[in-house]
């Protein structure tokens, strides 16, 4: 029996996982490699960072998601390079994996605009460890404030700066504002949590620039009503342990969170190929960079109908399925050139608070409570598995009814585990 062609997929996010699933049962031996053992539902990651849901509510072991496809094996490993000539993927443990077809779906990390030293003071949010770290940072600031006698230092502990006014920044700011206004009041003796400042900094003229202007204006008003201070039009010029500078204006803050930019993973370097300014690999209309090598999701700079495809979960999923389809064609011996990838935009959604959201669809704009319900139903629907749907719905219901947060734990305590 001839050995099956080998497909290697790097990355178990929305793109890599959908590609793997679309190859379930196909005549290829698939290896799905990720440096973490879980697939993450990133759209709700900000809720884990703000103690609303637990990490296990929004993540699933990758191998359990593909268990029924006997032709797919899952490998926990860290890729450090790709040899296009030898057609192997190199891992950091010295092993390498040979491929006939390769799909690179390694996503993106935060970008600090050339100031990597800021990362230590302003963590970003991409995986569960980031979320747990941010959760700890926020909760510890309140704990320290309770026993800080210097008013200026206490004020800095109670100031939360979020850099970046995209959906993640807006959602983080809204969540922290609710934490200070709704969850924590009554629990501290030395200060009123409602006196906390939550500051959202955006260098553009308005927040949520990818949404239509009226929706962005609605989000601005909603956040302001919740006590969030929105500072637009001036970029952050410095970040350190004391806080940030915005232009020339210093803002003292013990907690600075980064939601300002992303940088693609080093796939372009691995593949020794062209990348755009954000480090994304420039791919052909069929998402390939070479024969039998594709790059998808946030790692790729993709055009569709002459427009750049946004870095959203549905786009990554569509690309994964598209490449899965191309590989199946190859396996069945079809050689004619494939149709180029076409992105079907399903709309933009963002939550502002536990009651308000904005929805920007091709033919429909919604804001407020109805948009929130739409947002909630869509996200519950896209969660994998009944258990997680119930768990997340339960946490939302709980927070809605009582203001409480189920996951307010400071784990990995510095003195023990740092």
**Residues annotated catalytic, as ranges:** 171
Q: Does residue 254 belong to the site contacting its own copies (CB under 8 A)?
A: no
Q: Does residue 407 belong to the site contacting its own copies (CB under 8 A)?
A: yes
Which one, of 192, 188, 160, lies nearest residue 176 by Cα? 160
With b for 16 or more beta-carbon neighbours within 10 A and e for fewer, the 272-281 pattern comes to: ebebeeebbb
- Residue 80 CB, nearest approach to its own copies (Å): 10
Q: Does residue 412 belong to the site contacting its own copies (CB under 8 A)?
A: yes
- Residue 252 CB, nearest approach to its own copies (Å): 20
User: Token match 């915005």: residue?
Assistant: 246
- Residue 267 CB, nearest approach to its own copies (Å): 18
CA distance 50 to 370: 23
- Residue 407 CB, nearest approach to its own copies (Å): 4
Q: Does residue 74 belong to the site contacting its own copies (CB under 8 A)?
A: yes
**Mind giving me the DSSP string for 210-257?**
TS-HHHHHHHHHHHHHTTEEEEES--EEEEETTEEEETTEEEE-SEEE
Q: Taking the CB of residue 221, how many other CB atoms lie within 10 A of it?
A: 13
Q: Does residue 363 belong to the site contacting its own copies (CB under 8 A)?
A: no
Q: Does residue 274 belong to the site contacting its own copies (CB under 8 A)?
A: no
CA distance 143 to 145: 5
By CB under 8 A, the residues from 159 to 188 that bind its own copies are 186-188
- Residue 353 CB, nearest approach to its own copies (Å): 20
Binding pattern for the stretch 2-41 against its own copies, x by CB under 8 A and - elsewhere: ---------------------------------xxxx---
Structure tokens at 84: 């296009």
CA distance 384 to 317: 14
By CB under 8 A, the residues from 123 to 152 that bind its own copies are 128-129, 132, 139-140, 143-144, 146-147
| 414 CB-side CA count, 13 A | 4
CA distance 14 to 379: 14
Q: Which of 32, 57, 180, 264 binds its own copies (CB under 8 A)?
A: 57
Q: Which of 114, 189, 291, 335 binds its own copies (CB under 8 A)?
A: 189
Stretch that binds its own copies, among 230-238, 252-260, 265-273, 386-394 (CB under 8 A): 386-394
**Mind giving me the DSSP string for 373-406?**
HHHHHHHHHHSSSHHHHHHHHHHHHHHHHH---T
Please give the residue ranges that form the binding site for its own copies (CB under 8 A): 35-38, 54-57, 59, 61, 63-64, 67-68, 70, 73-78, 92, 95, 128-129, 132, 139-140, 143-144, 146-147, 186-190, 386-388, 390-391, 394-395, 398, 404, 406-413, 415-417
């Amino acid at each position: 029996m001839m050995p099956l062609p080998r497909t290697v997929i790097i990355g178990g996010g929305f793109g890599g996982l959908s590609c793997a699933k679309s190859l379930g049962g196909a005549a290829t031996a698939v290896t799905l490699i990720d440096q973490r053992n879980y697939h993450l539902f990133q759209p709700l990651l900000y809720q884990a960072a703000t103690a609303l849901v637990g990490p296990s509510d929004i993540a699933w072991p990758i191998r359990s998601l593909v268990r029924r496809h006997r032709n797919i094996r899952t490998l926990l490993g860290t890729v450090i390079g790709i040899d296009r000539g030898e057609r192997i993927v190199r891992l950091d443990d010295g092993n390498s994996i040979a491929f006939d077809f390769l799909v690179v779906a390694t996503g993106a990390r935060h970008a600090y605009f050339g100031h990597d030293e800021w990362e230590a003071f302003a963590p970003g949010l991409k995986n569960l460890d980031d979320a747990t770290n941010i959760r700890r940072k926020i909760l510890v600031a309140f704990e320290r404030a309770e026993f800080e006698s210097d008013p200026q230092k206490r004020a800095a502990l109670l100031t939360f700066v979020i850099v970046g006014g995209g959906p993640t920044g807006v959602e983080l700011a809204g969540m922290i504002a609710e934490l200070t206004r709704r969850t924590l009041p009554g629990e501290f003796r030395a200060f009123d949590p409602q006196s906390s400042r939550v500051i959202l900094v955006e260098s553009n003229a308005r927040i949520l620039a990818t949404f239509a202007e009226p929706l962005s204006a609605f989000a601005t008003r909603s956040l302001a009503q919740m006590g969030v201070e929105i500072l637009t039009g001036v970029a952050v010029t410095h970040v350190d342990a004391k806080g940030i500078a915005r232009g020339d204006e210093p803002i003292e803050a013990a907690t600075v969170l980064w939601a300002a930019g992303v940088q693609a993973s080093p796939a372009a370097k691995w593949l020794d190929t062209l990348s755009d300014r954000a480090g994304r690999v420039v791919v052909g209309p069929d998402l390939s960079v070479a024969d039998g090598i594709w790059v998808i999701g946030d790692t790729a700079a993709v055009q569709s109908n002459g427009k750049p495809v946004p870095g959203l979960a549905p786009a990554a999923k569509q690309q994964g399925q598209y490449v899965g389809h191309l590989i199946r064609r190859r396996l069945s011996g079809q050689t004619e050139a494939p149709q180029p990838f076409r992105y079907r935009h399903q709309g933009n959604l963002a939550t502002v608070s536990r009651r308000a959201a904005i929805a920007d669809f091709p033919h429909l704009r919604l804001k407020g409570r109805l948009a929130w319900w739409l947002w909630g139903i869509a996200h519950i629907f896209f969660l994998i598995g009944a258990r997680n749907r119930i768990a997340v719905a339960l946490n939302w219901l709980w927070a809605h009814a009582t203001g409480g947060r189920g996951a307010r734990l400071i784990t990995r305590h510095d003195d023990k585990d740092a």
